[in-house]
Chain A
Amino acid sequence: EIVLTQSPDTLSLSPGERATLSCRASQSLHSTFLAWYQQKPGQAPRLLIFGASNRATGIPDRFSGSGSGTDFTLTVSRVEPEDFAVYYCQQYGNSLPYTFGQGTKLEIK
Chain B
Amino acid sequence: QVELVASGGDIVQPGRSLRLSCAASGFVFSTHGMHWVRQAPGKGLEWVAVIWYDGSIQEYADSVKGRFTISRDNPSNTLSLQMTNVRVDDTAVYYCAREALGGDYFDFWAQGTVVTVSS
Contact = CB atoms under 8 A, between A and B. Distances in A.
Contact of A50 (B95, B102, B108): B102
A72 interface: no
B44 A45 contact: no
Interface in A80-104: 88, 90, 92-93, 96-103
Contacts of A90: 45, 105-106
B44 A50 contact: no
A105 to B, nearest CB: 11
Contacts of A96: 59
Contacts of B102: 50-51
Contacts of B110: 44
Contact of A102 (B44, B59, B104): B44
A88 B102 CA distance: 20
A100 B61 CA distance: 13
Contact of B47 (A39, A50, A98, A101): A98
A44 B106 CA distance: 11
A90 B106 CA distance: 10
Given A51-B102, A98-B104, A102-B44, 20 more contacts: A33-B103, A33-B104, A33-B105, A35-B105, A37-B45, A45-B95, A47-B105, A47-B106, A47-B107, A50-B100, A50-B103, A50-B107, A56-B107, A92-B103, A92-B104, A92-B105, A97-B47, A98-B47, A100-B45, A103-B45
26 contacts: A33-B105, A37-B45, A37-B106, A44-B95, A44-B111, A44-B112, A45-B95, A45-B106, A45-B109, A46-B109, A47-B106, A47-B108, A50-B100, A50-B102, A50-B103, A50-B105, A50-B107, A51-B102, A56-B107, A88-B44, A92-B104, A93-B103, A97-B61, A98-B47, A102-B44, A103-B45
Interface of B: 35, 44-47, 50, 59, 61-62, 95, 100, 102-112
